[in-house]
Every structure is written in C-alpha cells, then in structure tokens.
Structure 1
C-alpha cells in the first residue's frame, strides 16, 4: 500500500466534521498517479470539481454564486492543475498567496508514484503522456514532469504515494485527510418495505424476503392494522423466530455496510418484503432503519405499498399496483 505523507497535519482538537473541510483543494501531481480518481473522491465529499483549470481562474471560480454548498453554508471547490496547463504553474503560487490574504482555507494535495508504476499505467491505458508531444518516450515525459513539478511537490500540504494503491485505498486516504471520521455521512441509506404481490423492487441493492415469518394477516384482530401499529409490531418482532432472524440480519448488515462505505457508495437502498407490504415488512423495515440510525448512518424510511393495505371490511385503501393473488400480509 502506498504511503501517505501529511506534511501539515490538521490541528489537534479539531472536531472531525464537514464544517472543518477546506474551502479549496488543489490537486496536482504526476500524470497517471490518480488525479481522476481523486476528483471522484472529492465529488463524493460534495465538492464542486473542475479538471484542468488554469490557476489564474481559481479565485474567480470560488466566487461563482451557482456552486453547491455544504450543510455549514460554505461552497467548496476542488481543482486539478497539472502538466497539461504547465504555462500556468508560475501563477499558482501567487494565486494561493492571494487566497491566503483573503482568508480562504485551502490545501494542496500532490499525487505521486514510482516511475516504473507510472510507465506501466500509461502502457496499459494506451494514452499518451502529456509531455511526450515531441515524440519522446514515456520515461522522458515523466522525467520532464518531475522537473516541472518539484517545487510544487515540496510546498504541497499533503503528498500521497499511490504506487501500490488501488482506487478504494486512494479514496479512503483522501477522506482521511480532508474529512476524517465522516465516512458514513457520505452514504445515504433508504430502507423501504414492499409487497411481493405488487411487484418486486427494481432499485434495491439489498432485498430481504421475510415471508417465512408468521403472518399477522391471519389474526382477525390484526388484519386491518399495519406494521406501524403496536399490536402488529409486537406480533412480528417479539417472536423467537424473528429475534433469531434479526440477530443474523443485523450481523450481515454489520459486515456489508462498512464495505459499502469503503467503496465510496453514495446511495444504498435496502428493501424488506413480505406478501402484501402491510405487516411483516413494515415492522422489520422500521426495525432495520432504527438499527442503522443507531450505528450512525443517515437513514430515511419509506413504505412503498402501505397505501394498498386492506381495511377491516376487506376493501383496499387504494387501487393495487398489480392484481392481488395468493395469501396476504
């Protein structure tokens, strides 16, 4: 794994939250060291990202009114300045000095990798190195680029060596530098219930079928209620088979959720289904959402088919999305 060198660490005692993220991040470094993947990481963090930006335009871009903002009200920008705009590098230092005078918080991240790794990446991608326009070799282009960037590398706040890094590791390294402790906040989780008789979900990442559990529909006192009502919730949740299921279901979530966070996933949909989407799935979707909230995830909950729940007289609250058949619950 590549080494991350943090040359100007975040001050001790800082609260690791989005409000402490810098307003501007300049990403530079060697071609082939992972700048494109770095931009993806900053997009995941809510930054407005611009590739191949002349350094003289950084200040102007920060003032644009149309840039998206973070919950703390600040607009944040991540830009790539690299060898494709080598004529603008002399202006970068003066531009950053101007930002310092204006009190705009910024950091420079320099991505690097061993020469042999950079050569291998260019050979596998079949792309031309930006400093090989005169027909020189990839190695010659890398040598020229190192000479061009040596002062910027020396003055960068952070240098990340991506020689042995896969993309997920680079994303994690950037998040650790810019927004430590906020990994789960980047993942938006939706938990929803549904009924299989109204159609299987198309957008779910995880689908849990709970039709194996005892069905409250067959209790006349519970039939007209839903999983949001205490009698149904108690019927579903406080049974030995449900308690055993929840123990294993939550253990599965404890394994997969950190994996989704590590992969940089932004949205996750978890669907819990029973036959009609009225009783079992509703109660267990609520329980699942409560569990994930307690673990620190940002969770919203919805009940796709609850409007189709049966009334006490057997009629429907709304027209079903698909013809009803078989058992209910």
Structure 2
C-alpha cells in the first residue's frame, strides 16, 4: 500500500492538498487520529485501495508519536510519504482573519497568534520527516500544481520500487518577499549582475532566452553557479545517508524574477542527471512548477 500523510499548520492548505489526491484516485481520510494509523491497512483492505492519503492535524490524539508510528509502518512494508505544509505567522493570521474562521486550538484566553505559535510547537520535528512546503506566497492553484507534481514524483519512485531515493527540490525566491520556510539550504545571489536595471531585459524572467543569454555571458554568474553546484554535490550524500527523502535548496535574489530563476533552472538541469528534481519559482506569475524524473 502507498500511504501519503498530509499535515502541517492550520490554514496552510491541507484541505487543498488532500483534494488533489482525492481527484487523482486516492482513498482519502480527513483528520484521522494518529493512533489509528497503524490500523489503516486493515481498514482499507476490503476497499481495494492501494493508494491512501490521510490528513492529520495538531488536534490528533498522540500527535507527538506520529514520527514513531510512521517508522513502524515503513518496517511493515508500507510506502509512507509525508507532506508538511507551513506558512508564516503573518500569512496565517491574515488567512484566518479574512475567512473569519476559528483556529482549531484557540481558546477564550489564547489569541490567534498565540494559537498558531502553540500549534507550531506541537508539530515541531514533523517538518523534517518529509516534503516541507512553505505556502506563504503560494496561491491555491499554485499549491495544487506543486502537490500534483510531488505526487507524480512519489508515484514514480514507488513504481521503480526504489528502497530509498532523494528528491532534490530547487526554489527561486525574492529576498524582499522573505526567505522560504521550507529551505534546507539558502544561497544569496544578489551580488550578481542584475538584468532588472536594463529596461529592455526587465520584462523577461530567468526562464526566457534574453535573460539567460545576458547571465551566461557574466563570469561572476558562472562562477557562482559552479560554487553552489560543488557545495550541493559535497553535502547531498549526507542527506541520503541520513535517510532523508527530500532536500530543498533556495536560491534568492532581490525580486525573484531573473538571477535566482536562471540559476535554479541551470542547477535543476544539472542535478536531474542523477537525482529526481523538482523546480519551483515562487515569485513568478502562476508560480511555475516543473518536475523532472
């Protein structure tokens, strides 16, 4: 059985992500108590459900034992993948305020921001068990696209019957919009020549030929690309030996339109030769997401 766990902060998009799996034919269970996970295989056996997606939130009984429960399921031969959705405090406060919904951990004595911070403490440690996604700057449609691409990655890994594979996720971003919460490594490329100051180049982004040609002719850009590439090559094995399934690498420039986008495209193309690679450009319109085998 293939089992996907969707968890994370309330208001970060768990319902949106779970619906992606439901639309793709997964047998979905919303807000399952963590203590029932060990019995999930018996529960769905009669339904001929080979692919199951389960949403678990901070209110779940024994949420602090979820990491041990997942390890037990893996030893039973169940392919378990965890998707952890996160967002900044400011974003979550805004989302709850706009929808006028009550936070699940709120009390008369606990303000909204305090409830969010309390939930983050309860879920601490789970963000490192799987694919960690910061949805602060993602639209609902962008989150659906990213979840769908991640789903295709894990299904491909499942079909290949690989005992352990490492998915390398590259994300471009603009520092003026904040550092992604899901990044394991962050590289600052704001010191590189900036196409933004050329009125002819400004309307383009790093996925397009005019920007690529400009940056390819800058020795500093090529040197930065090589240095980042060598650093990642050196330290990726440590993630693999630590049995991590995902590593997220953030490349940031000022606005997240040109330099960071270009370098993510170049690094993604290089590392896809040996790894499964996911690429996300956080600041581009429609939050372009691509996946490579």
Relative to the length of structure 1, the TM-score reads 0.44
Larger Rg: 1
Relative to the length of structure 2, the TM-score reads 0.50
